[in-house]
Amino acid sequence: MASMLQRLSQGLRTGVAVALLTVAAYAGAQGVRGEHPDTYVVVRGDTLWGIAGKFLQRPWLWPEIWQANPQIQNPHLIYPGDVVSLAYLNRVAVDPGPRQDAQPINAIPLSDVEAFLKDLRVVDGFDHLPYVVGLEEDRLRATQGQVAYIRGLPSAQPGQRYAVVRPTVRFTRLDRSGLCCDLFHKDDLDFRGRRTVDFQQYWTNVVTPDKGHELLGFELQRVNVGTITRGEVGGIQASTLLLDETGREVRAGDRLIAVDAQPYDLQFFPHPPRQQTDYGVARVIGVSDMLHHGGPRDVIALSVGSRDGVDNGTVFSIWREGTNTVDRVQKGEYRDEDTVFFENKVRLPDEFAGHVMVFRTFEKMSYGLVMDSVKPTRIGYHLKHPDAPY
């Protein structure tokens, strides 16, 4: 049995090496960095993204090389101790080495990024969900070891567990097919889940009322988890929920949903988008924790989802939209921006900001983790193919 497994392992490793050699030209087309060594020995803690980032100009395409070879049942099997060959005119190959660990190297294991992920989800509505109506000792906030009182769980039984989530943002999209780009709105929500007044886009809301907007969804942020200790009994009109975690504090208006045992994939294999979207459709529409800009390992909300061909592992490049500026050499030094028509202005190039990998996908939206950046990512930035030159 042991000899058969050894032959199977050797055959698989040989198959991987041969497959990679057959796509050497493809790998070269992806661009190998000029300063690479001839070989690299895989060590514990490596990921395909990390290895490719050291040697390839497009780290998200490393799995694509292997996936192009259907004869390999699992194209992601490399181990600590294996040798990555980068010699021979930039050809890429993997040779089995003195393996130090039985666990293969994944593209990006969940353990490497889980600490940075925010447990966010998108729903079409939440008014039907049970909600926190009060807290122990009439507190304004509650945390681990304290109780929250829940309205809307008349059949709750002791021992049932629920996640406490908070509606934070309402995302909408205004389709402007005849113009350059769609308009995306991000409305903050109060403790009841109602929109707050945003004076910065007050006139935009007046000119483009809700009737013309498509609802992308409401963002729910996980704040705690609790266990029901008592239902609605003896004339009491609220169930009792004992809070388990020390995370964010619970407040009145927070909602309850079933606990999701596995909200994330166990590993992510980065890849380019599976379909092209029109310019202006794929945008950054939010940054976690209600911020306006973020950097590496920050979570951002994206305006595209499964209906646009996005799935977990999809990689986009992030771009600041080029401004339309007045050519003061031609128009005059003191020419006011507002006195020059749009078509008479000069469109400047979009500016590259970084890369984002999708880790959670919904129908109309998705959430991504900023993997690298050269400048902060802001709401409104465009998403393009990771190889987009401009």
Whole-number average pLDDT of the chain:
77
Number of domains in the chain: 3
What is the average per-residue pLDDT within 265-279? 85
Domain of 68 in residue numbering reads as 2-106
What is the average per-residue pLDDT within 110-132? 88
In this structure, are 183 and 93 located in the same domain? Answer: no
Q: Is 257 helix (H, G, I), strand (E, B) or coil?
A: strand
237 in a structural domain: yes
Q: Is 22 helix (H, G, I), strand (E, B) or coil?
A: helix
Band of pLDDT at residue 20, cut at 50, 70 and 90: very low
In this structure, are 321 and 344 located in the same domain? Answer: yes
Of 74-78, 143-147, 209-213, which range is least confident?
74-78
In this structure, are 249 and 124 located in the same domain? Answer: yes
In this structure, are 90 and 23 located in the same domain? Answer: yes
Express as a percent the part of the chain with pLDDT over 90: 38
In this structure, are 286 and 210 located in the same domain? Answer: no
In this structure, are 159 and 224 located in the same domain? Answer: yes
Say what the pLDDT of residue 140 is.
94
In this structure, are 242 and 136 located in the same domain? Answer: yes
Name the residue with higher pLDDT: 68 or 169: 169
Whole-model pTM over 0.85: no
pLDDT digits (tens, 9 = 90+) for 282-334: 999 999 876 788 889 899 999 999 999 999 999 999 999 998 887 777 766 65
In this structure, are 130 and 93 located in the same domain? Answer: no
φ, ψ at 49 (rounded to 5°) = -60, -45
In this structure, are 247 and 155 located in the same domain? Answer: yes
Which one of 106, 132, 164 terminates a domain? Answer: 106
In this structure, are 125 and 249 located in the same domain? Answer: yes
Q: What b/e readout covers 22-44, taking b as 16+ CB neighbours within 10 angstroms?
A: ebbeebeebebeeebeeebebee
115 in a structural domain: no
Say what the pLDDT of residue 76 is.
54
pLDDT digits (tens, 9 = 90+) for 349-373: 999 999 999 999 999 999 999 988 9
What is the average per-residue pLDDT within 175-200? 72
Say what the pLDDT of residue 184 is.
78
